[in-house]
Chain A
Amino acid sequence: MGEAERGAAVFRARGLTKIYRLGEVEVRALYEVDLDLYAGEFVVILGPSGGGKSTLLNILGGLDAPTSGEVVFRDHDLTTADDAEMTQFRREHVGFVFQFYNLIPSLTALENVALVTEISADPMDAREALRRVGLADRMDHFPSQLSGGEQQRVAIARAIAKRPDVLLCDEPTGALDYPTGKVVLEVLAHINKELGTTVAVITHNAAIAEMADRVIRMRSGRIAEILHNARRASPAELVW
């Protein structure tokens, strides 16, 4: 697939560099990274821990600012945004899925989703979001009453309910067993296909790469290579 067919770039990053200072030592988490993410694509960012993939995701998600370089989301320049603008950006455009779900334990599944739909401009119905992740019958359960996979699906419902432009997932299956992890990936693929949401998944599980449109391999803060999958495998086909 050519890039033109994919539509416009949602994110455009140029020369992204992130340097952390840990006392005397400088750690270069990202170095001169150029990257575009396109509307509707499913991207897997792959690499070992410390490869810079989380730092990249944080910058794209408006959680962190690069030391140098620029990153633009559509017409928002994230490089110069202050805390309030970053918050607004995350609120309107980004859906996050965490490795450990990070649900609010005092709220039911439905309420965890509703919490986000309450502050969104054009959300889908919270029940609808839960139906899409296959949890229509678990809506009134509290997180402590749900399995890990169910909790992660609630987290995905929470992320998609506000109809974000991009879904950023940090090791979404990292805490899950094999079959549960597959269910979660299926939900992500389904959302990507049905809603056309751009999905970026970071993982060190190379098997997941097969379900992506593009695979970005990172090593030592740089993009080592970008692969285009000719055919996206369905999550059911994945083996690890």
Chain B
Amino acid sequence: MPLLDVRNLCVDFRTANGLFRAVDGVDVQVNVGDVLAIVGESGSGKSVSMLALMGLLPWTATINADLLHFDGVDLASANTQQRRSIIGKDVAMIFQEPMSSLNPCFTIGFQLRETMKAHLPLSRRERQSRAIQLLEQVGLPEPERRLKAFPHQLSGGMCQRVMIAMAIACKPKLLIADEPTPALDVTIQAQILELLLDLQKDTGMALVLITHDMGVVAETAQRVSVQYAGQKVEEQGVRDLFANPHHPYTHALLAALPERATSRQLPSIPGVVPGQFDRPKGCLFSPRCTYAKDRCFQEVPVAAPPALGLARCHYPLVDGIAQREVS
């Protein structure tokens, strides 16, 4: 049984102009020890689906799912108390901006110990020694002195290490990292990613990495799920995805990478991601797709078989060539 099993997750936001569907029928399965990357552009719903799982969305959001199971517990029907005993302990999350995710009014040590106080039956002294041990584990020099520091006294890379230390304080079974590196420099980014992978290997926890950087995906993930405008459009193993993308969107996204360019002009995807008011009738990607046919503008496609990467497309690509029919 998968550690995390989410089926047909939908998240709607109540806005001044009516309902806006940010996540539309997304399935996520994560097994113990998995490294899953969720990629997509801004507005593709990749962060929102994970925030929904954590219960961190504002009251304007309505969450619906056929299944929302974590480690055998149904999160959808769990009461607040049950939820709180899981979230932050067994499921932990690292947020985008390390500098603004830490509370500037409290020391690093206080914030680290606070998590343990809520979830672990440790004494004050044990918490302190565990905090030092955690900072050592994430590679922060002089941990005892750092515990007394405030967030503004640390650099971005150090803050991100503190965030990771906080997330792994209760030995989570699942760690969700939401764009953990874009605010950091490349050499620091490499250190942080390596740290996350080392932790994942040592503790056997599952890791979900939300990112838009294809380079990061290629170097860290085992499985990749591609999201577009709130829908999952493709899911494959990382090597297969880069070698043989089945959905035209993935194909176009990979072709737009500057390092794959063969000429000065890059192949680009025309247009922009559809918003609340210009959602197309058929396939959501159809207005920007080079392979789109009449049917794509009329009918909503369903996911193709796993052999075709679950591509949500009427005519999935095989080796860059559109196939006739699948469904």
Are chains A and B native binding partners rather than an unrelated pairing? Answer: no
A residues touching B (Cβ–Cβ < 8 Å)? Answer: none
B residues touching A (Cβ–Cβ < 8 Å)? Answer: none
